[in-house]
Amino acid sequence: MISVRDGQNHILARIDRLRPPEHVPLVAALGRVLAEDARAPFDVPPTDNSAVDGYAVGSADIPESGRQALTVVGDLPAGAVFTGVLAAGQAIRIMTGAPMPAGADTVYPQEDVERAGEQVLVPPIAKGANVRRRGEDVTAGAVVIAAGTVLRPQELGLLASLGQSQVLVRQRPRVALLSTGDEVAEPGTPRRPGQIYDANRFTLRGLVEQCGGLVLDLGIVPDRHEALRARLLEAGRVADVVITSGGVSVGVYDLVKAVLGEIGGVDFWQVAMQPGRPLAVGRIGQAHFFGLPGNPVASTLTFLLFVRPALYKLAGRQRLFPDCWQARAAEPMRKKTGRREFKRGVLRLADGGWEVRTTGPQGSGILSSMVAGNCLIVLEEERGDVRPGELVTVEPFTGPA
Ligand code: AMP
Ligand code: MG
């Protein structure tokens, strides 16, 4: 029996080759992983500029008290540049974002002044007020986004502000998915007595896509040695990662281990966790192989724990594990020491603090427990039963980021 942490380390240690990066248009780069540090080619903003609509003045003209009359010598919309130099006793009307004219270092918001013909009456103000400094967002040469970062909308905006229309990103890992089992039927087709509809391939597809992977759907394979062998060989040729569900327990029809032993290499693990104990990890040719358990909750959970960090690493991501939080248990929870247990939970803010309860029955076939929940409750190996009010670790189910 191995621990969750040892299993994760073992898997990650085997991933050392990534696909080469590719250029994509910025408009198609949402969710992709940056392949090289992005550096600023110039200061952002490129010049000192006004933070408000108002009047730019030289600080020598700011009165200590009362009002000072200044002559308005021009109008500067955003994008216009004043080529002259503002002289003593002069002000210039300026719009948000317009570069500061030479001779000016302070801007009055227009609501703080009184305009009278060609003159403007200005009160006391702090020197330098309402000016955005050159480079205050980003200085030239600085790394603004590190390699390995997932591009969210705000990263796309920042890259665009640096003038980029293309970006170098990691190729998406190609992930072949297949379900095993004579009893597993394709949704949308008739279901014979004794059959169940395939749930896992659809959960797993969503998970792979959320992780930035490209899904190659290889369908359902019956519990026949030759069929499984042929399909897995094909999967190993076309994919970087091959994921199956089912067929890894100890039943007579659980063929994954035997087939993998012939065509690749497989380590069959009993992981000290609940649910999701049996797991097959190995390779087919160049592809990484994950044989996940058949029970829907167990396959989802083992994906999150073992496949997700592997896909993240293959995708060139810097961060491989999600953030965890702590919350107070709102109810007692049964827990056996010596293994890591994962319950599906509902995390909510209650009376000013985070509180978590389970979603109810926690059987590893009860997929609706994942639907009802918004987080995993992670109960560490050494922990025993949890009493209400104790702090527990929670890992929110997160979206694509
Ligand atoms: P197995 O490990 O193949 O014995 O599967 C364990 C349990 O998970 C059995 O009850 C299977 O019917 C069920 N199962 C296997 N594959 C799937 C699937 N793709 N979708 C839903 N349930 C499945
Ligand atoms: Mg099966």
Instruction: Write out the two tokens for 82.
Output: 């004043």
401 C-alpha to center of ligand 1: Å?
Answer: 29
Q: Tell me the C-alpha distance between 209 and 30, whole Å.
A: 13
- Alpha-carbon distance 309 to 289, whole Å? 14
Distance in Å, CA 308 to ligand 2 centroid: 23
Give the pair of three-digit tokens for residue 250.
């100890």
- What does the block give as tokens for 149? 């970062």
Q: Which tokens go with 184?
A: 């597993």
Instruction: Give pLDDT, residue 250.
Output: 77
Separation between Cα atoms, residue 388 and residue 166, nearest integer Å: 53
Ligand (nearest to CA of 244):
1
**In a 3-state reduction of DSSP, which class is residue 391?**
strand
* Structure confidence by residue, pLDDT tens digits, 81-123: 899 999 999 999 999 999 999 999 999 999 999 999 999 999 9
Averaged pLDDT in 10-residue chunks for the chain of 401 residues: 94 94 98 97 94 97 97 91 94 96 97 96 98 94 96 96 96 97 97 97 97 97 96 96 92 86 88 89 95 95 97 96 95 96 96 94 90 96 98 84 43
Write down the pLDDT at residue 400: 42
- Supply the pTM of this predicted model: 0.89
Tell me how crowded residue 103 is: count the other CB atoms within 10 A of its CB. Answer: 17
CA angle, 365 as apex, 360 and 368 as ends, to 5°? 50
Phi and psi angles of residue 242, each rounded to the nearest 5 degrees, phi first: -115, 130
17 CA to centre of ligand 1 in angstroms: 32
Closest CA to 340 of 304, 381, 376, 382: 381
Q: At what angle do helices 225-238 and 256-263 cross, to 10 degrees?
A: 50
Binding pocket residue ranges, ligand 1, CB within 6 Å: 179, 181, 183-184, 196, 198-201, 245-249, 251, 293-296
Q: Output the CA 198–ligand 2 centroid distance in Å.
A: 11
Q: Please check whether residue 273 is in contact with residue 339, taking contact to mean a CB–CB distance below 8 angstroms.
A: yes
Counting other chains too, the contacts that 190-194 makes at CB distance below 8 Å and 24 or more residues apart are: none
Counting ligand 1 atoms within 8 A of each CB, the residue from 186, 192, 196 with the most, and so the one to mutate, is 196
295 CA → ligand 2 middle, Å: 9
Place of tokens 């290889």: 218
Indicate the SS3 state at residue 154.
helix
Rounded Cα distance, 373 and 32, in Å: 28
Tokens of 335: 């827990």
Nearest to 326 by CA among 272, 392, 375: 392
Q: Which two tokens stand for residue 86?
A: 């503002």
- Which ligand places an atom closest to the C-alpha of 293? 1
The closest ligand to the CA of 183 turns out to be: 1
SS3 label, residue 278: strand
Q: In the 8-state DSSP scheme, what is residue 303?
A: I
Which residues, 6 or more positions from 251, have their beta carbon under 8 angstroms from its beta carbon? none
Q: Is the peptide bond before 173 cis (omega within 30 degrees of 0)?
A: no
> Which of 177, 178, 197, 200 should be mutated for ligand 1, with most atoms under 8 A from CB?
200
